[in-house]
Structure 1
Amino acid sequence: MNTYLHHHQNRGHVHTDWLNTYHSFSFGQWHDRRFMGIGALRVINDDTIAAHRGFGTHPHDNMEILTYVVSGAITHKDSMGNHGQIHAGEWQLMSAGTGVEHSEVNQNDTPVHLFQIWIHPNIRNAKPNYQQVSLDPKTQPNQWHVIAGPEDNALMHIRQSAEVKTAFLDQDQTLELERQHDVNYVHVISGQIKIGQQILNPGDALAFTTENQMTAMSKDSHVLWFDLPQ
């Protein structure tokens, strides 16, 4: 892989009476052999969940599962004893390990917009773990925030050498892409950015190995960056 633009229109799309979701990689009933994940990254689901609806109790194991709430709030409950809300600007990490059950329900009167991200762990059958942090990049723009990773510079620690970062950029601001690994994937939540010669719009993502800079082409550019092992 050198550089690959993953257009937003190539994502899977499922729209029901309570869930409007876009899948960057094959998930559930949507399957495309071209999009099975990249490196250790397996799932990016861009979910909008209707008021008073959500995902009932279901199991997971051996997966690092991150939830990032962009707007609204979701109520989480799991078999580890955790129960509470994740609000806009907050992140949750559930390291499923040997197995955990959880539910995610929008108990509010307005929709919630969130991202669900799955990363394969490099340690299997570990004890399940839960973490939650608050960091809204809009309040600290034009810099990278390391949300999850294996080192102490990350707010949450995952069982993988990958790093998950986020940034909110003002127009014409540039950030360096100081890569730790050969596999990198930037996903645009809002706004417009440029990496190398590629222009990315909301829902677009770029997989790359050699690019070194990212520039915001519009105000309110909000991105996720996955720095990944193979």
Structure 2
Amino acid sequence: MKTIYHEAKTRGHADHGWLKSYHSFSFANYHNPERMHFGALRVLNDDVVAAGRGFGTHPHRNMEIISIPLQGDLKHMDDMGNSTVIKQGDIQVMSAGSGVSHSEFNKNNDQEVKFLQIWIFPNQSEVTPRYDQISIFDKEVANGLTQIVSPNTDDDGVWIHQDAWFYLGSFNMEKSGNYKLKNNHNGVYVFVLDGELEINGQLLQARDGYGIWETDSFSYHIKSKAKVLFMEVPMQF
């Protein structure tokens, strides 16, 4: 088993006034040659957008983009004709493929919007661009892991063009568990949203990241109450 620990305070940071963003991996003006990606996981941005502000129309290509709102309402528009709002409890996916342009804005003028922006390298290039979003409010597993992303169109959560599985864990009690990888060639990047958990004797706290690979499973221990994102991705792609 190999591991890597990324303490929250070691992330890259950008403050544009209207946007405050923390980067787990190199992004925009933050460049760290030792933190370019974790396998197929290219970007993990922890974004806070000011009231009424947002990202103007901009292009993407050949990337699977997943957004997970944590607070507030995010307005999405794209050149595929989609005009939607995503909020806490929703999972959004966009396969940029052969090219797509979109914009994202804080829908509200009286509160910030907080969300995770995640980019995954796809296993196919130049696919037809695609958009989808779901709500997981009525599907969340109490004190367990809820699958929110997979490579399968008929599986739980949204699907992407990559052999990757994401699980969102919500716990309100101390609990131990075991994560078994879907593919032994994959790795798992654990990102703590709230609370504390322990893996391999390493204590992880809010916004810490922890990568695990070259193993078929690992155990974790929730200390009391926590919300955690498990991202299993190919290490070679």
Number of aligned residue pairs:
229
Percent of pairs with identical residues: 40
2:164 is aligned, of 151, 162, 165, to 162
* SS at structure 1 position matched to 2:144: coil
> Gaps (5+ residues) in structure 2?
none
One-letter amino acid of the structure 2 residue matched with residue 155 of structure 1? G
Q: Residue by residue, what CA displacement relative to the aligned partner does 1:178-208 show, whole Å, maximum 9, x if unpaired? A: 1123311100011111112111011111111
Of 195, 220, 223, which aligns to 1:217? 223
1:146 matches 2:143: no
How do 1:120-135 residues align onto structure 2 when only pairs under 5 Å count? 120-135=121-136
Note the C-alpha offset of 1:138: 9.8
Gaps of 5+ in 1: none
Number of the residue aligned with 2:50: 50
> Aligned ranges for residues 1-230 of structure 1 at < 5 Å?
2-108=2-108, 109-136=110-137, 140-151=141-152, 152-181=154-183, 182-209=186-213, 210=215, 212-219=218-225, 221-230=226-235
Tell me if structure 2 keeps the 8 A contact 1:137–1:166. Answer: no
Residues of 1 paired with 2:79 and 2:168: CA distance? 29
Distance in 1 between residues matched to 2:228 and 2:139, nearest whole Å? 11
TM-score, normalised relative to structure 1: 0.95
Give the distance between the partners of 1:14 and 1:175, measured in 2 at CA.
35
- Give SS of 2:188's match: strand
Q: Contact between 1:142 and 1:175, CA under 8 Å: does it hold in 2?
A: no
RMSD, aligned α-carbons? 1.5
Q: Aligned-pair distance for 1:137?
A: 8.6
Counterpart Cα distance in 2 of 1:160 and 1:137: 26
Secondary structure at 1:13 match in 2: strand
Normalising by structure 2, what TM-score? 0.92
Q: 1:147 to 1:139 in 2, by over 3 A?
A: closer
Using the TM superposition, name which of 55-64 and 175-184 deviates more: 175-184
Secondary structure, aligned partner of 1:189: strand
Alpha carbons 2:8, 2:208 under 8 Å: kept? yes
* Higher relative strand content: 2
The 8 Å contact of residues 175 and 224 in structure 2, kept in 1 or not, is answered as: no
